[in-house]
Amino acid sequence: MELNQHKSKISAIIVILIIVISIITLGYLWPSTKWKDENTILLYGFSVKGEVFDQKIIPAFHDYWEDQTGRDLKFQTTYAGSGKITQQVLTGALAEVMILSTEWDALQLKKEGLVKTDWNSYPFNGTVSKSPWVIMTRAGNPKGITDFSDLTSDDIELIHADPLTSGGACWSIFAIYGSVLIRTELTEGKFNETAAKKLLKDIIENVISWQSSARKALSQFSLGYGDALITYENEALLSKAQGKDLEIIYPKCTIYSEHKVVKVDKNIFSGEEEVIDEFIDFLYTPEVQRHLADYHFRSVDEEINKDYNEFPDILTPFTVEYLGGWEEAHKEIIEGIFQEIKG
């Protein structure tokens, strides 16, 4: 009898140890998991936002919140392609605030009931920063690239992010396709969708590598792969600031990407509402908007942008609204035309 009781105690201890180890392991494998801690905000951002948020915006808000309330505050951050972090949250990651590259990702979160607060109720319809899409080439622009149309040459090799995982990649596809629609509308008096599809097809055929995010595409390009990269202006300017020997080409007509802040209501505990709302409001302060501009993102405040000589005027800019908004553009151009071309 005593032996059986002893064995039972050992078995119970082993079970408890297994449970404890499993919980600890889960915490390491899934860093988004946290206990109910009202003094920790889980922030997910698309890949190129990491530096400015971790180095400037979060420390600034930490100091602001401590001065206002006397309470300490911590952030737990995760950065990856906009589509990737959205998929992580859709499958259970506990992000409370997200900085997304595209409104499309926000719409997917809303459809699944994770987001209830309308981001359009925030200033500038939830846009916290923006960036036009540009072309990066090797130093001296040896291939003589001046616009998207030059990327169709047989001797051009491109690096590009994948629209299935990267919001940035979607912006790039929209920039190429939309630039032809605008040009033909101005010169022919109507859209020429056939010409837009052809340009997109010819450029896609020159892509030698598809990466999961805009940041990973830039990393591969920076290692010497490819002749050109279509990317965010802020990434190109950051590369130049870091001393990389590259050149930035501004297409005559290109799209402005608009980066959205989203509150993931389903993951927020009642005691966290105040600090999260305060954090979102903080993103629109002149202090934060200047931090964003310092890190090469264009501010939503055009008066701030005027102080930065590195931001040239775009000859013919447009936004996703020109393409019918995110839902229509994604369905017709990404799910339709792009998928048909790429196969």
Under 8 Å between Cβ of 235 and 259:
no
pLDDT band at 331 (very low <50, low <70, confident <90, very high): very high
Residue 23 has pLDDT above 70, yes or no: no
Listed in order, strand segments (DSSP E) in 220-322 are: 228-232, 246-249, 253-263, 316-318
Q: What is the pLDDT of residue 7?
A: 52
pLDDT in tens, 140-191: 999 999 999 999 999 999 999 998 888 889 999 999 999 999 999 999 999 9
- HSE-CB at 318 with a 13 A cutoff on CA atoms is 23
The H or E element spanning position 295 is none
Q: What percent of the chain has pLDDT over 90?
A: 81
Under 8 Å between Cβ of 133 and 177:
no
As a whole number of angstroms, the distance between CA 240 and CA 50 comes to: 18
pLDDT band at 6 (very low <50, low <70, confident <90, very high): low
Residue 100 has pLDDT above 70, yes or no: yes
pLDDT band at 10 (very low <50, low <70, confident <90, very high): low
Q: What is the mean pLDDT of the chain?
A: 90
Tally of CB atoms within 10 A around 277: 14
Listed in order, strand segments (DSSP E) in the chain are: 40-46, 74-80, 97-100, 127-138, 158-161, 207-211, 228-232, 246-249, 253-263, 316-318
Residue 20 has pLDDT above 70, yes or no: no
User: Is residue 82 exposed (0-12), middle (13-18) or buried (19+ Cβ within 10 Å)?
Assistant: buried
Nearest partner of 228 among 317, 139, 342, judged by Cα: 139
More confident residue, 271 or 247: 247
pLDDT band at 303 (very low <50, low <70, confident <90, very high): very high
Under 8 Å between Cβ of 135 and 151:
yes
At residue 207, φ and ψ (nearest 5 deg) are -80, 125
Question: Structure tokens of 145?
Answer: 């690239």
Residue 217 has pLDDT above 80, yes or no: yes
What is the average pLDDT across 300-317?
A: 96
Nearest partner of 245 among 256, 233, 236, judged by Cα: 236
Residue 17 has pLDDT above 90, yes or no: no
pLDDT band at 239 (very low <50, low <70, confident <90, very high): very high
Q: What is the pLDDT of residue 34?
A: 46
pLDDT in tens, 42-92: 999 998 899 999 999 999 999 999 999 999 999 999 999 888 999 999 999
- What is the homologous superfamily of the domain 130-258+311-342 according to CATH? Periplasmic binding protein-like II (3.40.190.10)
As a whole number of angstroms, the distance between CA 320 and CA 328 comes to: 10
Residue 28 has pLDDT above 50, yes or no: no
Please tell me the pTM assigned to this model: 0.84
Question: Structure tokens of 161?
Answer: 């992010």
Name the packing angle between helices 286-294 and 58-69 (round to 10°): 160
